[in-house]
C-alpha cells in the first residue's frame, strides 16, 4: 500500500520489505559469504538454481553486476555482444561491457523490442582479420523498454538454436523473468533452459530490498564468482539479504498476477484520454506516449506530482507506470484520476 501522501509508480524497485519479510531478515542465520560460508546465501543460491533448472547460481548485490559478470564469463575481450537496441544492457548499464570487459555492444532494432532469430542470424559476425567477431547474444525477458513485453518461448528457443548453431553463447537478462512466467504460464526453467546464463532480480517484482542472482553451469558460476569479486561485489554477512529472497520466492511470486491485473486496470481507465496513447500492458508496466506537441514527459510528471502520483520519464515523450506489491486497487484508481486531471487542459 502506498503512503497516503503519494502513489509511487516510478518502478517496482521502490517497494519496502513487508513486516513478514523484515522478520525473516531479522532471523537470518549468517556467515561470511566472501569466504563461502553463509548458509542462508547457500540456501538461496540452491533454491534459485533449482527453480531455473541450472547447475548453480550466484548471489549478486545488483542485476547490472550480475549481467556484466555473465558477459565477462561468456565473451572474450575484443568481441561484440548482440543486444536489442533498447535493451537494458545498451541503455541503462553505463557502457559497462566496454569499460569492465572490453566488449562492444551491437544494438539491433527489433519490432516491439523483441529480437527474432532472423535478426540475430543477420547480425552474427564470424570475425576476420579486419572485423570484430560475435562473442555472445543477450535477450531480455520481460523487455522493459517496450512496456514489459514477454519474449515468447518459441522465439527464445529459435534464437538459442541460431546461437548454438554458430557456436555463440546466449545470456538471458531475466530481471523480470518471474513476471514473464506468470503472464505466459511458461515456467522460469523452460525459459532459462534456452540460455547459457540467466539473471533474475529479487529487488523488482518480488519486493526485496537488494539482490539478483546469476545462474548457469557450475564452471561458469565459479568463473563468475571471481568476476564478482573483481567487480567489488563480494559480500560478507549477506544472509540477511538472502533471507529476504527466500521469503519472496515463497510468498511473492504468485501475487505478481495482481500487479499485472492492476496495470491492465490503469491502462483501461486512461485509454482514450486526450493527448496520449497507451501501450497495452502484458505484465506490470504501462507505457504512456505523449502525442501533444510541446507537452513532454517532464511537464506531465510535474503535473502528476502535484496530485501525489509519481511516474518516471522513459523518453522525452514517453512515461512509465509500474505496478508492484505496495500498490492497491485504490491507488490505481487515484492514479487514473490524477492522470485524467493532468491531461484535462489538453482536452
Mean pLDDT, to the nearest integer, of 244-266?
98
Cell of 227: 568476476
Q: CA 255, CA 66: separation in Å to the nearest integer?
A: 25
* pTM of the full structure: 0.96
- Chain centroid to Cα 4, Å, comes to 28
Domain 31-251 falls in which CATH fold? 3.40.640
pLDDT of residue 295: 87
- The per-residue pLDDT of the chain, averaged, comes to 96
pLDDT for 2 beyond 60: no
The mean pLDDT value for 19-35 works out to: 97
Distance CA 44, CA 67 (A): 18
Q: What is the dihedral of CA 258, 264, 267, 270, to 10 degrees?
A: -80
Instruction: Let me know: does 263 contact 285? Beta carbons within 8 Å.
Output: yes
* Confidence category of residue 1, pLDDT binned at 50, 70, 90: very low
Residue 329: closest CA among 266, 273, 284: 266
pLDDT at 293: 83
- pLDDT (mean) for 18-28: 98
- Report, as an integer, the average pLDDT of 122-137: 92
3-state SS, residue 310:
strand
Tell me the pLDDT tens digit for each residue of 42-59. 999 999 999 999 999 999
Note whether 70 and 217 are within 8 A (CB).
Answer: no
Q: How far apart (Å, rounded) are the C-alpha atoms in residues 188 and 153? A: 10
In contact, 108 and 123? CB cutoff 8 Å: yes
Nearest to 289 by CA among 344, 341, 339: 339
Using DSSP's 3-state secondary structure scheme, residue 265 falls into helix
DSSP 244: H
* Cβ atoms 286, 319 nearer than 8 A: no
pLDDT, tens digit (0-9, with 9 covering 90-100), for 169-190: 999 999 999 999 999 999 999 9
H helix or E strand, kind and range, residue 277:
strand 276-279
Which stretches within the chain are classed as H helix?
Answer: 19-26, 39-52, 63-74, 88-91, 96-101, 117-123, 153-165, 177-184, 188-192, 218-230, 239-251, 256-270, 297-306, 329-343
For 206-216, the pLDDT digits (tens) are 999 999 999 99
Helix/strand/coil for 3: coil
The reply to whether CATH 3.90.1150.10 applies to domain 7-14+255-346 is yes
DSSP state of 200: E
Contact 332, 323 (CB under 8 A): yes
DSSP 8-state assignment for residue 294? T
Q: How far is CA 9 from CA 142, 341, 344, in A?
A: 18, 17, 21
> pLDDT per residue over 278-325, tens digit each?
999 999 999 999 998 878 999 999 999 999 999 999 999 999 999 999
Give percent of the chain above pLDDT 70.
98
State how far the Cα of 13 lies from the Cα of 20, in Å rounded to an integer: 18
Mean pLDDT throughout 26-50? 97
- What residue spans in the chain does CATH classification 3.40.640.10 cover? 31-251
Give the confidence band of 3 by pLDDT, cuts at 50, 70, 90. low
The per-residue pLDDT for range 62-121, each reduced to its tens digit, is 999 999 999 999 999 999 999 999 999 999 999 999 999 999 999 999 999 999 999 999
List where CATH 3.90.1150.10 sits in the chain: 7-14+255-346
Q: Residue 327: in which H helix or E strand, if any?
A: none
Nearest to 148 by CA among 17, 278, 330: 278
What's the rounded Cα separation, in Å, for the pair 281 and 267? 7
What is the pLDDT at residue 130?
86
For residue 209, how many other CB atoms are within 10 A of its CB? Answer: 17
Distance from C-alpha of 50 to C-alpha of 139, rounded to nearest angstrom: 21
Residue 150 has pLDDT above 60, yes or no: yes
- 200-204, 221-225, 272-276: least confidently modelled range: 272-276
Question: Tens digits of per-residue pLDDT, 237-253?
Answer: 999 999 999 999 999 99
The answer to whether 231 touches 200, Cβ cutoff 8 Å, is no
Region 126-151 average pLDDT: 94
Mapped onto helix, strand or coil, the DSSP state of residue 319 is: strand
Side-chain-side CA neighbours of residue 136 (13 Å) = 31
Amino acid at each position: 500500500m502506498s503512503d497516503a501522501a503519494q502513489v509511487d509508480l516510478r518502478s517496482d524497485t521502490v517497494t519496502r520489505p513487508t513486516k513478514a519479510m523484515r522478520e525473516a531478515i531479522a532471523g537470518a542465520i549468517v556467515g561470511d559469504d566472501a569466504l563461502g560460508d553463509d548458509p542462508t546465501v547457500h540456501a538461496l543460491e540452491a533454491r534459485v538454481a533449482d527453480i531455473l533448472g541450472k547447475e548453480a547460481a550466484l548471489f549478486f548485490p545488483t542485476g547490472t553486476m550480475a549481467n556484466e559478470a555473465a558477459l565477462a564469463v561468456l565473451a572474450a575481450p575484443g568481441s561484440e555482444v548482440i543486444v536489442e537496441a533498447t535493451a537494458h544492457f545498451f541503455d541503462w548499464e553505463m557502457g559497462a561491457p566496454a569499460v569492465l570487459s572490453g566488449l562492444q555492444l551491437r544494438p539491433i532494432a527489433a519490432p516491439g523490442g523483441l529480437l527474432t532469430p532472423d535478426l540475430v542470424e543477420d547480425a552474427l559476425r564470424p570475425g576476420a582479420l579486419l572485423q570484430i567477431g560475435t562473442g555472445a547474444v543477450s535477450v531480455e525477458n520481460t523487455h522493459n523498454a517496450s512496456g514489459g513485453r514477454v519474449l515468447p518461448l518459441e522465439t527464445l528457443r529459435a534464437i538459442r538454436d541460431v546461437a548454438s548453431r554458430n557456436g555463440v553463447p546466449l545470456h538471458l537478462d531475466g530481471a523480470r523473468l518471474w513476471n514473464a512466467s506468470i503472464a505466459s504460464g511458461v515456467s522460469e526453467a523452460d525459459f532459462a533452459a534456452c540460455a547459457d546464463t540467466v539473471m533474475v532480480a529479487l529487488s523488482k517484482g518480488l519486493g526485496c530490498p537488494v539482490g539478483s542472482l546469476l545462474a548457469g553451469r557450475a564452471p561458469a558460476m565459479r568463473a563468475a564468482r571471481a568476476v564478482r569479486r573483481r567487480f567489488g561485489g563480494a559480500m560478507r554477512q549477506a544472509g540477511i539479504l538472502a533471507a529476504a529472497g527466500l521469503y519472496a520466492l515463497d510468498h511473492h511470486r504468485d501475487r505478481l498476477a495482481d500487479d499485472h491485473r492492476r496495470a491492465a486496470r490503469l491502462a483501461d481507465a486512461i485509454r482514450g484520454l486526450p493527448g496520449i496513447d497507451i501501450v497495452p500492458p502484458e505484465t506490470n508496466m504501462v507505457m504512456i506516449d505523449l502525442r501533444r506537441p510541446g507537452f513532454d514527459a517532464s511537464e506531465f510528471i510535474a503535473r502528476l506530482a502535484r496530485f501525489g502520483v509519481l511516474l518516471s520519464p522513459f523518453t522525452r515523450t514517453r512515461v512509465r507506470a509500474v505496478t508492484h506489491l505496495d500498490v492497491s486497487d485504490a491507488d490505481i484508481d487515484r492514479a487514473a484520476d490524477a492522470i485524467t486531471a493532468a491531461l484535462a487542459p489538453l482536452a
